[in-house]
Amino acid sequence: MTATPWLVWKSLANRRLSAGLALLSIALAVTLLLGVERLRNDARSGFANTLSGTDLVVGARSGPVQLLLYSVFRMGDATNDIRWQSLETIAAQPLVKWVIPLSLGDSYRGYRVLGTDLRYFEHYRYGDRQPLAFADGKAFGEVFEAVLGAEVADALGHRIGDRIALSHGTGRASLNGHADKPFTVVGILARTGTPVDRTVHVRLQAIEAIHLDWTGGAPIPGLGLSAEETRKFDLSPKRVTAALVGLKSRAGVFRVQRFINEFRDEPLLAILPGATLQQLWGLFGIAERALLAISGLVVAVGLAGLVAVLVASLGERRRELAILRSLGAGPRQIFLLLASESLVLAIAGSALGVAMLYALVAALGPWLGARYGLTLGLYGLQPREWLLLAAVLAAALASSTVPALRAYRMSVADGMTIRI
């Protein structure tokens, strides 16, 4: 007598409730395991695509990660600024196609303010080279006009036509404000899932205008200029915080990078954003491993539930197993029967877990993309995901040896004995 598929199926069908619970626990564990793995991969891909289509990020000489943090992620502050003349020299290089100036230092209710120009909306790319789009309104034109990121508008409830007052410095605790020079919201960007969503965008000339009557980080006593009065002054930018550089050909990226890093007029640093993003993501390696470890523990709990169900059912199956033994089934066949049951439950649970994963991605993917900019792809299982599934099946087969060995040691007399 052998553990035929028909016998395995009938055995599981006879215990459909306990088998179903074991199958569900494995399915949920596999869904979580693969979900965390896919979320990790897609988040890493999205993180790496926070900035795309930009060949170089330029700032004052510091560390590459620090430059990337304040220029792209709006975290921290620059050690120094860049002179406008230096930026013009870089823009004049034959291999340079465009330069986007970035000026940071002010905030609005905890959100960073970015001074830039119209090239920002024309050339800035994220994700798979996706351009910025407007959910409402248009780009700024006048000096005191502002464009809000999607998160700023949603969190603070702003609409087109609202007036806002910026603060000097960063953070919610910034007290020195520019209330005398309010801005009008003229545009709200579509959500990108990048730091753009958490940024207030204004013109470079606006940054100059709100600081005309300031010095040393504080208003000049006795001197107060209205918004209209500032228009009479030369508002051409003198210094910027950083710049994004696009080249006519990527073949010249190292040549331009070397030119900037060896710039004689002032110490500058040019970094490759893609390489530095990967370096920055490496700092989150511990969190990645922790998530995967938690998922592994959940799978272990699911397999432990499978073992518990099989072991607990042995008491109820004593007579069934004894009858099988009396019909000619040896200890080896009993062992294979229970091992086969565990493997069938693991395979069915894994398949159900994969189906649940795709159902969740299809249902939540559009919402996550629109709300958080996290794109979850409906693509086939990746090699690493296949390895994880194989590991689950191997672990299920290994764990099945516990009840199978116990059943292996049971004699015919064990099943025929009446226990009171």
Q: What is the pLDDT of residues 235-262, one digit of tens each?
A: 899 999 999 999 999 888 999 999 999 9
277 occurs within a structural domain: no
Q: Is 61 exposed, middle or buried (0-12, 13-18, 19+ CB in 10 A)?
A: middle
* Percent of residues in the chain assigned helix, strand, coil, to nearest 5: 55, 15, 30
Mean pLDDT confidence for 76-95: 92
Residue 41 sits in the same domain as residue 132 = no
- Residue 397 is predicted with a pLDDT of 77
- Residue 381 is predicted with a pLDDT of 86
Residue 214 sits in the same domain as residue 341 = no
Strands 145-148, 183-189: pairing is parallel
Domain end residue (candidates: 246, 271, 296): 271
- Residue 123 is predicted with a pLDDT of 95
Q: What is the pLDDT of residues 106-142, one digit of tens each?
A: 899 889 999 999 999 999 998 878 899 999 999 999 9
Residue that the structure tokens 């700092």 belong to: 283
- Confidence band, pLDDT 50/70/90 cuts, at residue 47: confident
28 occurs within a structural domain: yes
276 occurs within a structural domain: no
- Confidence band, pLDDT 50/70/90 cuts, at residue 2: very low
Residue 262 sits in the same domain as residue 293 = no
Mean pLDDT confidence for 354-373: 80
What distance in Å separates the CA atoms of residue 35 and residue 29, rounded to the nearest whole number?
Answer: 10
Residue 136 sits in the same domain as residue 216 = yes
Residue that the structure tokens 């459909």 belong to: 16
More confident residue, 7 or 389: 389
Q: How many CA atoms lie within 13 A of 295 on its CB side?
A: 24
- Residue 420 is predicted with a pLDDT of 46
Residue 146 sits in the same domain as residue 202 = yes
Q: What is the pLDDT of residues 184-203, one digit of tens each?
A: 999 999 988 889 999 999 99
- Residue 412 is predicted with a pLDDT of 45
279 occurs within a structural domain: no
Strands 167-168, 218-219: pairing is unpaired
Domain end residue (candidates: 271, 305, 340): 271
What token pair was written down for 208?
């100059």
Write out the residue range of the structural domain in which residue 396 sits.
5-47+284-416
pLDDT surpassing 70 at residue 176: no
Mean pLDDT confidence for 298-325: 65
- Confidence band, pLDDT 50/70/90 cuts, at residue 393: confident
Residue 114 sits in the same domain as residue 182 = yes
278 occurs within a structural domain: no
More confident residue, 128 or 327: 128
Helix (H, G, I), strand (E, B) or coil at 226: coil
Residue 263 sits in the same domain as residue 204 = yes
Q: State what percent of residues in the chain have pLDDT above 90.
A: 35
Q: What is the mean pLDDT of the chain?
A: 81
> What is the tally of structural domains in the chain?
2
